[in-house]
Structure 1
Amino acid sequence: MGELSATGVLAQRSDPDRFRCTLFAPPNKREALWCLLAFNNELARAREVVSQPTLALIRLQWWRDMIAEVAAGRPARRHEVAEPLAALLRSGTLAAEDLLPLIDAREAEAEEIETRAGFDAYLRGTAGGLAVAMARVLDAPVATLPAVQEAGALYGLAGVMRSLPAQAAQERCLLPREMLPGEVFEPFSDEVAAVVRQLATEALPRVEAVRQQLRALPGGAVAAVLPLVLAARDLRRLSARGTPDWPPVPRGAGDRLAVSWAGLRGKL
């Protein structure tokens, strides 16, 4: 693969799962995918690194303003992700209409997510929206994008549940409030484990359904949905156990081989 660009290094460090999946994309598409991953990480950090929800919204607005400035022909803001992102927007490789919804969807993280419907919309807009943006870079047929979004949302669901202890350490919880007991979030309680098992068990049939729908996805675009392979494995573990690993366990050989096998075949 050769030496990574600065954006590639950011993507690999901040999003190792999706980064591994991008290695099965055509080489000339990888820089744009890495920039999307780095951008998505900046949006995810908007709430993680501040103490007040209002500050998270200000950070998200910074990215909206940056994209608007690029559209108006103004110079890129000096930032390790904004500058390469601006270059890709100017070249037409990325489109503002794919990036702005990712920003909007992150606003849900500024407060508690109250309902299951709101939680599902959050997953479709964040992880699902990122998968769609990646698929567009990879020239996926428009007809496949709803299934691509579902695949991304399922990976996002698994990710939310795997990170529950980290959320609790930040005094946050992304699960829908209506499904949780009491006012204090205890990530390893029996009650929360029951919610996790329910969500994971309900999601597993959706994984199989979306796999069938994605058979029409060209092999060159499969990198956008390869995280579904990891989601399926994570959801099976969470369905059985109800509690995530803590401290987090790095991806094992089984996970890596499963992604590699699907990526080399060009199908899930």
Structure 2
Amino acid sequence: MSSSLSGRTVLVTGATSGIGYETARILAERGATVLMHGRTAEGARAAVDRLITLAEVDGSQLCVFAADFAHLEEVEQMAARVVAEHPHLDVLVNNAGMAAPERHTVTADGNEIAFQVNFLAHYLLTNLVEPALTSELGGRVVNVSSSLHRTGSIQWADPNRTRRYSRLAAYAQSQLALTVFAADPRVTAISVHPGICTTGLLPLYAPEGTAPAEGAAHVVRLCDPAVEIVNGAYYDRDHRVAPAPAATEERTVKRLSKLADVLVGHAA
């Protein structure tokens, strides 16, 4: 029988569909208070209503948060609200993600859209909610990454890939950055590849995949304080494995942090 997560508060980004939605469902069914993020308040509210109706989850366990990660100002506003309303946050699940579009696309903030939505927004959110993240045993950040991070490289001189764009390379770069970020010593964090699931990202991986709930179970396992983690580690579903070599290089971790601070406008 799964242990109770009653008393735990977890923020799940991208909780309106796919792995994020199923992660929120399992967490709520196990008693956690779940802050469900969606790109819009309407989308997040609809996801909450589905959980209340279909999973018979107590609505008092679910809270709606909205921010379009293609707009960093919205991320800042959401983070401020999270810290104000939930000053004790046990887990942050950085799950929201998108496939890089066929055409090179830049956000209003000036960043390649997949790099911003999949990594920079989570980098910013994590740093802004850090005051609320508990340092108690079990407090952690779980980055939902991808096995495709192994094919990625961070283009330090051109992270927005303006000179040479490939949607697969842009997506892989964003996943590598998210995996590297888990090794940042400023936060207790891990990253996990939840498996290939039938979500909107499936075409990047394979013709078919497993149910999103199966991938979500691997994410939820790592949210459980009863599961000991190794800070900065990378998990392929239930197994801790070595990530791409760049993901744990101290120089790369520091370099990415400096780059991200500049791109999100928080550089000293």
**Which TM-score band applies after superposition, normalised by the shorter structure?**
0.3 to 0.5
More helix per residue: 1
Question: Normalised by the size of structure 2, how large is the TM-score?
Answer: 0.34
Largest Rg, 1 or 2: 1
Please report the TM-score for the alignment, with normalisation by the length of structure 1: 0.34
